[in-house]
Amino acid sequence: MTARVLACLLLAAPLLGGCLSDRTFGESLDDASAATEIKTRLLGAGLNGRFMEVDVAVVDRFVLLSGRVASEADRKEAERLAWTTTSVDEIANELQIEYWDMGRDLNDAWIAEQIRTRLIADNDIKGTNFNIQVHSGVVYLLGLARTEDELRRAAEHASVVGGVQKVVSYVKMRERVGPPPEISVADAPPSDRQGQPLAVDQTKGAIQLAPLSTPAPVVQPDQSPSTRNAYGDPYAPGATPPPGSNGNTQGLKSTPVPPLKN
């Protein structure tokens, strides 16, 4: 119940501002509630800050975990905790094992803002349907596209922003069941909001939405998202423990907190 209340508060600002996606209020609320619940579980389990750099995005009961953790064991544990939320069906674990870097984080934030600006400026894309996560120059797109062209154009915009290493698309078609189609942007020039190619002649002082570069590759995920039926808890009794678990084969166990002494 608490997660659902928090989700309502998080949704209130964009809804009051008229920034609506194509999803119903109920769908958005359920996804926001699931994201809030997962974040709460991660924060509760990582009192030493181990999950502070984990970003959680949920669209259509699909969870994207992105950001950074310190070890493979933390990466596995974050996914395990996400699966304790019953209102999700798939989880894509894109957590990277790295340490905090202010300059890198600022650059990632700049890239995300440039991509968001390009999506909003394109009349053929409903930018509020897309969630953008950027980590170490890798762009993760999550959302529901209305058409094949909208899916392709969103990936194209992300691929031409300076500093992008690659674009990983988890975008689904609203009427499609299954993964998104293959996307190729090698021959697709960047375009403006009317669909016309953007000029790249910098000598004339033309204002551009973002520095253009050779398009970064748009790729399928390295591994398929895990589903609830196929997911195996790495800490379950008898399971092969993940790296960093110190050989624990008995599953996770809680220890009661001793009473306070007077």
Q: How far apart are CA 174 and CA 126, in angstroms?
A: 13
d(CA 153, CA 101): 31
**CA dist., res. 112 & res. 133, Å (int):** 7
Q: pTM of this prediction?
A: 0.67
What's the pLDDT at 102? 86
How far apart, in whole angstroms, are the C-alpha atoms of residue 41 and residue 82?
Answer: 8
Which residues in the chain show pLDDT less than 70? 1-23, 47, 175-213, 232-262
Name 128's Cβ contacts closer than 8 Å, sequence gap at least 6: 14, 19, 20, 21
Q: Are 249 and 239 in contact (CB under 8 A)?
A: yes
Contact (Cβ atoms closer than 8 angstroms) between residue 245 and residue 237: no
Assigned token pair, 32:
């926001």
Chain segment 180-227, per-residue pLDDT in tens: 445 444 444 444 444 444 443 333 333 344 455 678 888 888 888 888
Residue 243, pLDDT score:
56
Question: How wide is the angle at C-alpha 212 spanned by C-alphas 200 and 64, nearest 5°?
Answer: 150
Can you give the pLDDT at residue 98?
86
Tell me which amino acid residue 175 is.
E
Q: Which two tokens stand for residue 62?
A: 């699909």
pLDDT of residue 28: 81
Strand blocks (E) in 33-106: 54-59, 62-69, 90-97
Residue 92: per-residue pLDDT: 94
CA–CA separation, 141 vs 248, rounded Å? Answer: 36
The Cβ of residue 188 has, within 10 Å, a number of other Cβ atoms equal to 17
Ranges of H-type helices in 122-254: 148-159
> For the chain, give me the number of helices (H) and strands (E)?
5, 9
pLDDT, tens digit, for every residue of 177-188? 444 445 444 444
What is the Cα 251 distance to its own chain's centre? 29
Residue reference for tokens 């949704």? 11
